[in-house]
Chain A
Amino acid sequence: MKVGALSYGGGFVIVPIMQHDAVATYHWMTAAQFLNAVALGQITPGPVVQTVAVVGYAAAGVGGGLLAALIAFAPSFVFVFLGGSRFDTIRANETIRSFFAGAGPAVIGAIAGSAIPLGLSLQYLWQVPILAGAGIWLFLLRRGVVSGLLIAGAVGVILALVGLQV
């Protein structure tokens, strides 16, 4: 419910919200598994918020995944059904715009800050060059997130088959 009702600024803002609860508070998954959940949310079609389903699955199987998705997406339906005809008013409301203009930098900080615990979750030394390569792929070459994650996954498969520890 927190993810669906409080997240603002794109799908990735759910990461810092969920990470603490799923890994540290409830121990539903390890830090490395949480990394996988985030990657899956990015490479699958549809909303990025689907990441909650992986966390739900880790907590209580398929039922947990479905329940997590249902609860996370329910507020979106409510917001649209209650506010859809007032979208032009919402857009023009200076108070609402001011609130979210102020929240914007905090969201950016939260997402960027989540990179630190995510980076500390890496378990093997061979993952560091992949991280560096992903940074080059995204920031210098300006290529897509999905293709970057798929390539990183393919490299991981090759390295695992070669015999590196996973």
Chain B
Amino acid sequence: MSDGAPSSPPDSRVSLATVGREWTRLGCVGFGGPPTHIAFLRRMCVNERRWMEAEEFEDAIAATNLLPGPASTQLAIFCAWRLRGVMGGIVGGVCFILPGLAIILAFSALFLAHHPAHWVLGAAAGAGAAVPAVALHAAWQLVPSSRERADGLAQQSFAGRSTPPWEAWAPPRSARTSSSFSSGLAWLRSRFDVVANEQQKVREGRSSRSPRSTPERWAASAPWRGLP
């Protein structure tokens, strides 16, 4: 957007006052972080008011997740910008941020006072005690999306190849998807058989030159060789 305007004309039916009112409401009731904000924005912009197409909204979610910075805030700014250009983006973004900012500054004055009340100290120490668990939980929640993103890129990167390099030693898909003991055992046996076959070839090459070493004798009598 080099000219500072959305690619398609903003919806002139939506006034800046409407943007300000709706984004302030979102900023006031948006407890619960980004998932809540995204759900509210989708309901308002796509389902109820039909200001945006669902596909465009999904594109915006994906793009803001790729940008550095707070993704749901960027999504809120984008939706407002999409409606009323730069002024809409500024009004929507500020109205989304301000309610929470006012509340958090009020709490800051309460909690960071020089001599806070005893119960305030208790509330702070109690809520603070839970924060390390919240940090681990936040990291844990990112694992699926990160893995999905990496898997998607890997599939795209190796789309032209029959097998990605790591698949050569990875368990077959049947062993990965099945929890049955027999699948795992079969895979293990196949891997050990590969090693044993290689050692057999080495032995055959060496048999005329030298007697078997102890490891080779162990390999020849390995228990997996007798498995059905």
Whether A157 contacts B66 in the complex (CB less than 8 A), given A12-B135, A57-B109, A107-B142, comes out as no
- Which of chain B's residues has its CB closest to A136's CB? B133
Residues from chain A with a CB closer than 8 A to the CB of B101 are: 46, 50, 53, 65-66, 69
Whether the Cβ atoms of A130 and B1 lie closer than 8 Å is no
Chain B, 1-37, CB within 8 A of any chain A CB: 1-2, 4-7, 27-34, 37
For B102-145 the 0/1 string (1 means CB < 8 A from A) is: 01110111011000001101111111111111111111111101
Residues from chain A with a CB closer than 8 A to the CB of B142 are: 9-10, 104, 107-108, 111
Answer yes or no: B41 CB below 8 A from chain A CBs.
no
Answer yes or no: A20 CB below 8 A from chain B CBs.
no
CA distance A19 to B79 in the complex (A): 32
Please classify how large the interface on chain B is, using the bins under 10, 10 to 19, 20 to 34, 35 or more.
35 or more
Whether the Cβ atoms of A29 and B112 lie closer than 8 Å is yes
For A1-40 the 0/1 string (1 means CB < 8 A from B) is: 0001111111110010000000000000100110111111
Query: How many residues on the A side are at the interface (Cβ–Cβ under 8 A)?
Result: 104
Whether the Cβ atoms of B149 and A97 lie closer than 8 Å is yes
Whether the Cβ atoms of A154 and B70 lie closer than 8 Å is no
CA distance A11 to B30 in the complex (A): 14
Whether the Cβ atoms of A104 and B150 lie closer than 8 Å is yes
Whether the Cβ atoms of B28 and A88 lie closer than 8 Å is no
Answer yes or no: B72 CB below 8 A from chain A CBs.
yes
- Which of chain A's residues has its CB closest to B111's CB? A36
Residues from chain A with a CB closer than 8 A to the CB of B129 are: 35, 122, 127-128, 130-131, 134, 152, 156
Whether the Cβ atoms of B96 and A81 lie closer than 8 Å is no
| B73: contacting residue among A6, A76, A87, A158, CB under 8 A | A76
Residues from chain A with a CB closer than 8 A to the CB of B68 are: 5-8, 75, 79
Whether the Cβ atoms of A108 and B146 lie closer than 8 Å is yes
Residues from chain A with a CB closer than 8 A to the CB of B153 are: 94, 97-98, 101
CA distance A15 to B141 in the complex (A): 16
CA distance A81 to B91 in the complex (A): 13
Answer yes or no: B100 CB below 8 A from chain A CBs.
yes
Whether the Cβ atoms of A76 and B146 lie closer than 8 Å is no
Residues from chain B with a CB closer than 8 A to the CB of A62 are: 105, 109
Whether the Cβ atoms of A104 and B32 lie closer than 8 Å is no
Whether the Cβ atoms of B90 and A77 lie closer than 8 Å is yes
- Which of chain A's residues has its CB closest to B128's CB? A35
Residues from chain B with a CB closer than 8 A to the CB of A128 are: 129
Whether A135 contacts B136 in the complex (CB less than 8 A), given A45-B99, A73-B73, A91-B63, comes out as yes
Whether the Cβ atoms of A44 and B127 lie closer than 8 Å is no
